Amino acid sequence: MHTDTERCVRAVQSKDARFDGWFFTAVLTTRIYCRPSCPVVPPKVRNMTFYPSAAACQQAGFRACKRCRPDTSPGSPEWNARADSVARAMRLIQDGVVDREGVPGLASRLGYSARQIERQLLAELGAGPLALARAQRAQTARLLIETTTLPMAQVAFAAGFSSIRTFNETVREVFALAPGELRTRAARVPQATAVPGVISLRLPYRTPLNPSNLFGHLAATAVPGVEEWRDGAYRRTLTLPYGHGVVALAPQPDHIACRLSLTDPRDLTRAISRCRWLLDLDADPVAVDAQLRTDPLLAPLVEAGPGRRVPRTVDGAEFAVRAVLGQQVSTAAARTHAARLVTAHGIPVDDPEGGLTHLFPTPGALAGLDPEALALPRTRRTTLTTLVEALAEDRLRLDTDTDWEQARAELAAMPGFGPWTVESIAMRALGDPDAFLPTDLGIRRAVERLGLPATPAALTARAADWRPWRAYAVQYLWTVDDHAINHLPA
């Protein structure tokens, strides 16, 4: 979008927050870059230039605005709606892969050479993987500086910097303030009472956001010991590269309040990325709802509760296991089966607030389970053990960068994986916005009440007009049935 100057200028002059994250405005006279909704008086058009990423702005010598803080914008919705190599690369960079594995590790995951990835990212984002990762490290450092009392040396290494000198230089260059000055400025702003060891932050999103189905679904399907709804917040344990964590996410009118307790602060980038992915916070609800409103049968559902998101997962392998456990049983039964696995094979953790007891077991931990110990039909035991074996041996990957169609084909080839299970995993684990569940019980009930075609084939053909947002159409269709997943818990 940054190449459409006229459209960008209109967005900046109207301070349209819907475009935050789509592009960044760099001001040639002040050498500052802003988000489109920056509250200051818009600069003259001749002094504006536009970039597709914060990293590109920084590479061009611009520093972040202290008023609108463009580094805290929601991410571009493009990366979640696309399945090409650039989108997959961006999802991996947001997960901190470059910091942990370097550019060669990023390229290896994508199946390209490092040179090809560099060229593709430069062409579309104006910055290579190292610059994009550097911009993200700067944002993580700012969060740690402003929300914790960690010594600056610990902040530097937790944010992914290789040296304190690089950390200091980057923070000064990006924010035009030394790390100590950032912390002093943050201390002047009234904040909620700090809890030792807990990082509190705000996760931005594009409005509107309807929390009912998002948090209602997560709470209704929560696995005891791993997830819970408490005091207006969804809480769960997280398995992370350097340790584990506990997160609490609570919906607020203009942000999601996030409280993170981590055993290793180096996991902050990954934890934030996982939470944003879980709640689908980088979606563009205006574009989605505009498309779905064109269908006269869906339009009333959209008008009744616009801004529905797709509830996802923090771990693709975990969701795949839970999807198999949930085949042809009720939500309560699926939770019971999952809780038994957690108790038997999950790693115990300490929750300062109580209530959460385990991490969900990894495929490696489940690889040696005794099928006879599972209270499941024999065919489903085979399905589960086959899935766990493929995941544990890395023959099947269900990460944010996984190719959607390849994963579908691999899942469909396994015993016991029908269209419902495959599409559920595509929608919630892989993040495909066009995944569709024509055989789902809730969808069949909605179809009957709305007068949509009853057979899966006919419904799929009818749903062609909803593409590429059929996963969001599923969220609206589920509201036709009065199920707990559609309501925030009391």
Which residues form the catalytic set? 34, 440
What is the phi-psi region of residue 394: left when phi exceeds 0, alpha when psi lies from -120 to 50, beta otherwise?
left
Fill in the amino acid letter for 354: G
Are the CB atoms for 89 and 106 separated by under 8 Å? Answer: yes
Strands 63-64 and 32-34: what pairing? parallel
CB atoms within 10 A of CB 483: 17
Tokens of 18: 């819907």
Are the CB atoms for 365 and 348 separated by under 8 Å? Answer: no
What phi, psi does 101 have (nearest 5°)?
A: -120, -5
Fill in the amino acid letter for 61: G
Whether the bond into 208 is cis, omega within 30 of 0 = yes
Whether the bond into 468 is cis, omega within 30 of 0 = yes
Are the CB atoms for 114 and 104 separated by under 8 Å? Answer: yes
Question: Which residues make Cβ contacts (< 8 Å) with residue 41, sequence separation at least 6?
Answer: none
Tokens of 93: 């960079």
What phi, psi does 238 have (nearest 5°)?
A: -130, 130
378: burial class by Cβ within 10 Å (0-12, 13-18, 19+)?
Answer: exposed
**435-462 burial, b if ≥16 CB within 10 A, otherwise e?**
bbbbebebbbbbbeeeebeeebeebeee
131/122 Cα distance (integer angstroms) = 10
Nearest alpha-carbon partner for 440 in 461, 462, 424, 457:
424
